[in-house]
């Protein structure tokens, strides 16, 4: 099986070899930089202008950059059981409205009237090894009118292909195409993906859906989903630690979760006039409901899936798979907030910012690979993510960072990415104790920034130790 390379391959992607080379240069600098701005990653004004020209060049099409991402993911998914995490985020650029050229790839973003564009990503993970393989689909678009206006146009009666929500089905269809050599595919989506047409068209013998319920759907026997689930026998319960988050008003606690499941047949909504759709679809429903008293925002997930659920262990497996949506939420957080701050880009056109966003996803993927590797004995080989020179320097850092006590040792195998994650996390300020909260994506990004800066100095001081074949 081919190894997972974090480095994009742009050779022969564009009509001009100079553009291929420039794409490689920008990607490499983004991979090892602390920032996402072209000004921040370039060494001089001449290089800066050349990079601006690349992103503004009409021959550098957005779809070519996206295809490169998808092609790599396609190769890497072959023969694997994979999970596809889908979600949408808004890239807000309103504070740059006076600088951005009108009608240049930006418009309304989100439910609020604001300048920007939307990003829908499909992040692919290896189900068994819990490693990040890449992206099977990327969609970028902006709204030309405020979404609230759609209600005056009988928006709900439009064919699904004419609705913005079609992005979920379109992404799922693309996943099946790009991941056609995968052993199995499980597509995981939040409530916006709860679309009848998707349940009717996407599942097959190797492709499954796992989607959080949005509506209290009417079932074939006349009952409703939520009532049927709440009346299902208690399958079992478990306790989970909830970390306090004051920003989201989350109370820290040990939450007891009760699990129920049942087999159901959802009825085709009366608003759907498509006669080609089946009148009912057989699915399995799983409920995870917190019974902790006095909690305002308690946990209550109702999940619809095409995976068979006939016992508690299978139901728990569905819940645990849905919890993996956290990774794509963190991916967006890295891209937008304390990570690479794409919304602060000073490029003059939306098209250029959109291209930069796609290229940045490669860099964010590397951090996600480190995040998934923490404490994972099945993590991918270290050489799939770090070059030989980088591994040599990691070895030096590991000796300096390890304490004398066994609790402060890097107990991961040096051949595994989990070993590098421990080092990078320590560089980012994590203390390294097993009792401590696992390092988060921002900590890992901070550690990578420090590692890259120190590596550059070490490389200059040790030129004879470098393996030129890795350059």
Q: Does residue 468 register a pLDDT over 60?
A: no
Sign of CA dihedral 358, 359, 364, 367: positive
pLDDT score for 400: 92
* Same domain (yes/no): 343, 383: no
Q: Which residue has the higher pLDDT, 111 or 284?
A: 284
pLDDT score for 1: 40
Q: Which CATH number characterizes residue 209's domain? A: 3.90.350.10
Q: Which CATH number characterizes residue 424's domain? A: 1.10.740.10
Q: Which of 365, 393, 417 is the last residue of a domain?
A: 365
* Same domain (yes/no): 249, 312: yes
pTM over 0.75: yes
Q: In which element (H, E) is residue 366 found?
A: helix 350-373
Per-chain mean pLDDT for the chain: 88
* Same domain (yes/no): 113, 169: yes
pLDDT tens track for 119-176:
999 999 999 988 999 999 999 999 876 655 555 456 667 888 889 999 999 999 999 9
Q: In which element (H, E) is residue 48 found?
A: helix 45-56
Q: CA 9, 11, 16 angle in degrees (round to 5)?
A: 140
Instruction: Answer whether residue 171 is part of any domain.
Output: yes
Average pLDDT over residues 56-68: 93
Contact (Cβ atoms closer than 8 angstroms) between residue 381 and residue 415:
yes
Q: Does residue 41 register a pLDDT over 70?
A: yes
User: Strand, coil or helix: what is 436?
Assistant: coil
Q: Which residue has the higher pLDDT, 175 or 114?
A: 175
**Strands 207-212 vs 184-189: parallel, antiparallel or unpaired:** parallel
Average pLDDT over residues 354-371: 91
Instruction: Answer whether residue 3 is part of any domain.
Output: no
DSSP label at residue 52: H
Q: In which element (H, E) is residue 38 found?
A: helix 38-41
Q: Which residue has the higher pLDDT, 342 or 30?
A: 342
12: its two tokens: 């022969």
Q: Which residue has the higher pLDDT, 436 or 147?
A: 436
Average pLDDT over residues 382-408: 88
Mean pLDDT check: name the lowest of 157-166, 207-216, 234-243, 302-311. 157-166
Mean pLDDT check: name the lowest of 150-154, 258-262, 417-421. 150-154
* Same domain (yes/no): 334, 415: no
Instruction: Answer whether residue 212 is part of any domain.
Output: yes
122: its two tokens: 């499909």
Instruction: Answer whether residue 12 is part of any domain.
Output: no
pLDDT category at 463 given cuts 50, 70, 90 is: low
Instruction: Answer whether residue 240 is part of any domain.
Output: yes
* Same domain (yes/no): 91, 148: yes
Q: Does residue 398 register a pLDDT over 90?
A: yes
> Which residues are CB-neighbours of 310 under 8 A, at least 6 positions away?
none
User: Strand, coil or helix: what is 81?
Assistant: strand
pLDDT score for 439: 92
Q: Does residue 471 register a pLDDT over 50?
A: no
Q: Which of 332, 365, 398 is the last residue of a domain?
A: 365
- For 147-164, letters b (16+ CB in 10 Å) and e give eeeeeeeeeeeeebeebe
* Same domain (yes/no): 349, 393: no
Instruction: Answer whether residue 43 is part of any domain.
Output: yes
Q: Which of 345, 365, 385 is the last residue of a domain?
A: 365
* Same domain (yes/no): 211, 341: yes
Instruction: Answer whether residue 457 is part of any domain.
Output: yes
Q: Which residue has the tokens 């759709």?
A: 277
Count of structural domains, the chain: 2
d(CA 454, CA 449): 9
**Strands 253-267 vs 132-141: parallel, antiparallel or unpaired:** unpaired
pLDDT score for 323: 94
* Same domain (yes/no): 325, 459: no
Average pLDDT over residues 420-440: 89
pLDDT score for 2: 42
pLDDT tens track for 443-453:
998 898 899 88
Q: Which residues form the domain of 243?
A: 17-365
* Same domain (yes/no): 330, 392: no
- For 332-364, letters b (16+ CB in 10 Å) and e give bbbbbeebbebbebebbbbbbbbbbbbbbbbbb
* Same domain (yes/no): 428, 356: no
Average pLDDT over residues 293-320: 94
Instruction: Answer whether residue 6 is part of any domain.
Output: no
d(CA 410, CA 373): 13
* Same domain (yes/no): 329, 380: no
pLDDT score for 384: 81
**% the chain with pLDDT above 70:** 92
Contact (Cβ atoms closer than 8 angstroms) between residue 315 and residue 297:
no
* Same domain (yes/no): 73, 135: yes
Q: Does residue 88 register a pLDDT over 50?
A: yes
Q: Which runs of E-coded beta strand occur in 156-279?
A: 184-189, 207-212, 234-242, 253-267
């Amino acid at each position: 099986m081919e190894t997972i390379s974090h480095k994009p391959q742009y050779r022969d992607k564009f009509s001009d070899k100079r553009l291929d080379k420039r794409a490689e240069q920008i990607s490499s600098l983004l991979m090892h930089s602390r920032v996402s701005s072209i000004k921040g990653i370039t060494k001089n004004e001449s290089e800066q202008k050349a990079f601006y020209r690349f992103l503004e060049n009409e021959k550098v099409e957005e779809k070519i950059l996206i295809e490169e991402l998808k092609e790599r993911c396609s190769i890497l998914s072959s023969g694997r059981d994979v999970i596809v995490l889908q979600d949408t985020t808004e890239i807000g650029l309103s504070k740059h409205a006076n600088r951005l050229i009108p009608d240049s790839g930006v418009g309304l973003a989100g439910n609020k009237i604001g300048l920007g564009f939307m990003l829908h990503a499909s992040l692919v993970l290896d189900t068994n090894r819990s490693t990040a393989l890449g992206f099977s689909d990327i969609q970028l678009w902006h709204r030309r009118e405020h979404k609230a206006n759609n209600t005056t146009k009988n928006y709900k009666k439009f064919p699904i292909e004419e609705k913005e929500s079609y992005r979920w089905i379109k992404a799922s269809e693309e996943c099946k195409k790009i991941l056609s050599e995968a052993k199995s595919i499980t597509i995981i989506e939040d409530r916006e993906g709860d679309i009848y047409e998707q349940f009717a068209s996407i599942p097959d013998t190797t492709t499954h859906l796992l989607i959080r319920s949005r509506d209290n759907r009417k079932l074939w026997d006349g009952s409703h989903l939520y009532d049927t689930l709440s009346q299902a026998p208690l399958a079992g319960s478990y306790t989970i630690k909830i970390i306090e988050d004051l920003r989201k008003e989350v109370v820290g606690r040990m939450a007891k979760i009760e699990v129920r499941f049942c087999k159901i047949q959802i009825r085709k909504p009366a608003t759907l006039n498509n006669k080609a759709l089946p009148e009912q679809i057989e699915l399995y429903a799983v409920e995870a409901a917190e019974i902790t008293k006095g909690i305002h925002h308690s946990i209550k997930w109702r999940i619809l899936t095409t995976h068979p659920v006939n016992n508690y262990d299978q139901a728990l497996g569905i819940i645990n798979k849905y919890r993996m949506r956290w990774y794509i939420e963190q991916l967006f957080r890295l891209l937008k907030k304390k990570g690479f701050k794409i919304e602060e880009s000073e490029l003059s056109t939306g098209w250029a910012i959109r291209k930069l966003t796609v290229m940045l996803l490669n860099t964010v993927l590397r951090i996600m690979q480190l995040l998934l590797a923490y404490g994972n004995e099945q993590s991918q080989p270290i050489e799939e993510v770090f070059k030989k020179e980088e591994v040599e320097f990691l070895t030096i850092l590991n000796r300096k960072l390890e304490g004398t006590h066994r609790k402060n040792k890097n107990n991961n195998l040096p051949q595994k990415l989990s070993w590098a994650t421990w080092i990078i996390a320590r560089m980012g300020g994590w203390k390294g104790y097993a009792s401590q909260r696992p390092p988060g994506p921002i900590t890992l990004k901070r550690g990578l920034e420090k590692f890259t800066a120190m590596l550059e100095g070490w490389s200059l001081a040790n030129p004879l130790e470098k393996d030129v074949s890795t350059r």
